[in-house]
Amino acid sequence: MEKIATRDGFGKGLLELGKKNPNVVSIEADLGKSTKSILFAKQFPDRNFNVGISEADMMLVSCGLAASGKLPFASTFAIFTERAFEQIRNAVCRMNLNVKIIGSHAGLITGEDGSSAQCIEDIAVFRTLPHMVVISPADAVQAEKAVEAMAGHHGPVYMRLTREKVPVLYNDNHKFIIGRGDVLREGKDVTIIAHGPQVYESLEAADELAKEGINARIINMSTIKPLDENLVLRAAQETGAIVTAEDHSIIGGLGGAVAECLVSSYPTPLERVGLHDTFGESGKPMDLYKKYGLTSGDIAQAARKAIKRKK
Amino acid sequence: MDNNNLILGLQDKAKSFRRDIIEMLYKSQSGHPGGSLSAVDILTALYFHKMHVDPKKPDLPGRDRFVMSKGHATPGLYTVLAGKGFFPREELWHFRQINSLLQGHADINIPGVEASTGSLGMGLSFGNGLAMAKKIDKLHHKIIVLMGDGEQQEGQVWEAAMTASHHKLDIIAIIDKNGIQNDWFVNETKIVDPLPDKWRAFGWHVEEGDGHDMHSIVSTLDKLWGMQGPRIAIFHTVKGKGVSFMENNPEFHGRAPNQEEYRKAMEELK
């Protein structure tokens, strides 16, 4: 199976968008080589500004550009977007400006750099902000297509990316629609809802469950906010048990969002796969996934547990 | 208009704005008099002498952009914007009230306000973004950012100072150096001086002036208007200027006058 990092998909998408739309501006904070915004920077040096290692400055610079009619993409590591959380809250979102924020190197999958870089709470914090849209693509194709979708949405968007290569699940015909989840596999016994690298892990889990006669529905929820509530509620009604899976804290991420949705409208047994109120550590991505319970096996186990809880 | 008439006209306007500041703060019983009174002479000179803006068309494409980075000192800004005609003066009397136009801190939804602020340290970076857009589009309007001196304690100010000089951005910064921050005197909280040396070291052209002497304000702004690149005016001011018991008094950073104080202040500002 071909593997490409979502950051590579973003880099390609930004470059393509830049060719079509002269208003696109890239703002970097010394991590263009890592986030892949460098592809845009090389092609359009006059529309690229590197503000150095200054994330707070970066967010307000983006606001000034957006207020002038530009379409700024501010990209850095996910963890450093959080450094500018209050700037994002008080400027980007309070003014509802057309600023696109890219947080790369998110999750335990970042690996060897360890806990300082492994951002595991970005979705939770950005999800709370009025006007903010939160996206986490499952593969490089989605990341590339999401860039165009972000440009078509007026207002702040946060897109979470990963450093490590992940299996390519979509082909070039894929259309990324903000706010819409995607059923990748039908099933009637349980629904596994995932984003990012855990979408592939969930598909693997479904294969494992199928051997036991369990039909798991798999949903790629690449927009966490606004959540595709209709799809979640339909899954709850039709399968009666839900699992969420993500390389993120179980507090406030997709698991939190789905829990909020279910408890308000259709209480259903829910198991959340993710980080259990803990930081990560250095290590190889798959070793970390095993140690912290984020593999296909952990997701399958959570599905069995959720099914048992059905009344 | 000859220079003397210009100065007299600006002084007259600033005085009436001081009265409006006290009036609106008294009516709302909430807000920041000290930093409004220290900045109002500068704001008056900007809006009635230097800046190209059209209150009938607040979104005019070629307009000059003013960013109130010290976004809590809105009574100063709002009175001047109302005086300029961006919205009816009547709005001032509903400042900080529910369902009102004039939010406690500067808000982009108010005609004439270019940026929502209120959290210190962000305005200069916003101005940098405006200046980058201007650079891309090869436009020539002015971008002006007003900061406080206490605000210089925010690290982001210095991130922005470096960004502006590195990218050779065409931007004008102003510091209202009134020497007092929320709790107490700046010098006894965390020293920000020597500001001229610091800004020069960060690659900016620095001018200094007296922020309550209209001659000094006008000549300093005229000089900066004729230049390019990152440049800053550091205006020495008095917090609470114009009302004796508010002057240089940390208590009036963020407290509205009571009835007796209001009467006394209005008497002094006759």
What CATH code is carried by the domain that includes residue A119? 3.40.50.970
Q: Percent of chain A beyond pLDDT 90?
A: 99
- Using CA atoms, how far apart are residues B214 and B15, in angstroms rounded to an integer? 12
Together in a domain, A65 and A121: yes
Q: In three state form, how does the secondary structure of chain B look?
A: CCHHHHHHHHHHHHHHHHHHHHHHHHHHCCCCCHHHHHHHHHHHHHHHHHCCCCCCCCCCCCCCEEEECCCCCHHHHHHHHHHHCCCCHHHHHHCCCCCCCCCCCCCCCCCCCCCCCCCCCCHHHHHHHHHHHHHHCCCCCCEEEEEECHHHHCHHHHHHHHHHHHCCCCEEEEEEECCECCCCEHHHCCCCCCHHHHHHHCCCEEEEEECCCHHHHHHHHHHHHCCCCEEEEEEECCCCCCCCCCCCCHHHCCCCCCHHHHHHHHHHCC
Q: With left for phi above 0 and alpha for psi between -120 and 50, is residue A132 left, alpha or beta? A: beta
- Residue B115 near chain A (CB below 8 Å): yes
Together in a domain, A224 and A147: no
pLDDT band at B1 (very low <50, low <70, confident <90, very high): low
Residue of B64, B65, B108, B126 to mutate, interface with A, max A Cβ within 10 Å: B126
- A190 pLDDT above the threshold of 70: yes
CATH of residue A298's domain is 3.40.50.920
Q: A60 and B116 in contact by Cβ < 8 A?
A: no
Together in a domain, A160 and A202: no
Q: Percent of chain A beyond pLDDT 70?
A: 100
Whether the bond between B88 and the residue before it is cis, its omega within 30 degrees of 0, is no
Together in a domain, A155 and A129: yes
**Integer CA distances (angstroms), B249 to B25, B32, B182, B238, B244, in order:** 17, 12, 11, 9, 9
Average pLDDT (A255-270) is: 98
Residue B223: Cβ-neighbour burial (10 angstroms; 0-12, 13-18, 19+): middle
Nearest CA in chain B to A94: B116
Q: What is the pLDDT of residues B103-129, one digit of tens each?
A: 999 999 999 999 999 999 999 999 999
Together in a domain, A82 and A124: yes
Return the domain boundaries, chain B.
3-268
* Cβ pair B21, B76 in contact under 8 A: yes
Average pLDDT (A281-293) is: 98
Chain A nearest CA to B246, separation (Å): 30
Cβ neighbour number for residue A44 with a 10 Å cutoff: 17
Give residue B111's pLDDT.
98
Together in a domain, A142 and A189: no
Q: With left for phi above 0 and alpha for psi between -120 and 50, is residue A118 left, alpha or beta? A: beta
Together in a domain, A150 and A190: no
- Residue A118 CA to its chain's centroid (Å): 14
Cβ neighbour number for residue A66 with a 10 Å cutoff: 28
**0.95 exceeded by the pTM?**
yes
**Which residue in the set B114, B119, B125 is minimally distant from A57, CB to CB?**
B125
Together in a domain, A99 and A191: no
Concerning whether A55 is annotated as a catalytic residue, the answer is: yes
Q: Nearest 5°: phi and psi at A30?
A: 70, 20
- Using CA atoms, how far apart are residues B196 and B123, in angstroms rounded to an integer? 19
Together in a domain, A219 and A150: no
Residue B95: Cβ-neighbour burial (10 angstroms; 0-12, 13-18, 19+): buried
pLDDT band at A153 (very low <50, low <70, confident <90, very high): very high
What are A36-45's contacts with CB under 8 Å, separation 24+?
A36/A7, A36/A8, A36/A10, A36/A11, A36/A12, A36/A104, A37/A10, A37/A11, A37/A73, A37/A75, A37/A102, A38/A11, A39/A11, A39/A12, A39/A14, A39/A15, A40/A11, A40/A14, A40/A15, A40/A73, A43/A15, A43/A18, A43/A19, A44/A18
Domain membership flag for residue A176: no
Give residue B3's pLDDT.
86
Q: Which residue has the tokens 């930093």?
A: B35
Nearest CA in chain B to A83: B156
Give residue B33's pLDDT.
96
Average pLDDT (A36-41) is: 96
Give residue B2's pLDDT.
74
Domain membership flag for residue A173: no
Together in a domain, A150 and A207: no
Q: B133 and A94 in contact by Cβ < 8 A?
A: no
Q: A54 and B163 in contact by Cβ < 8 A?
A: yes
Range of the domain at A282: 182-308
* Cβ pair B32, B75 in contact under 8 A: yes
Domain membership flag for residue A172: no
- Using CA atoms, how far apart are residues A242 and B87, in angstroms rounded to an integer? 54
Together in a domain, A82 and A146: yes
Together in a domain, A89 and A188: no
The tally of domains found in chain A comes to 2
Q: What is the CATH number of domain B3-268?
A: 3.40.50.970
Nearest CA in chain A to B132: A65
Give residue B255's pLDDT.
95
Which residues from A are below 8 Å from B114, CB to CB? 67
Domain membership flag for residue A258: yes
CA angle B87, B111, B152 (to 5 degrees): 115
- Using CA atoms, how far apart are residues A88 and A85, in angstroms rounded to an integer? 5
- Using CA atoms, how far apart are residues A238 and B136, in angstroms rounded to an integer? 54
**Which residue in the set B132, B155, B156 is minimally distant from A64, CB to CB?**
B132
Q: What is the pLDDT of residues A98-118, one digit of tens each?
A: 999 999 999 999 999 999 999
Which residues from B are below 8 Å from A51, CB to CB? 159, 163
Average pLDDT (B15-20) is: 98
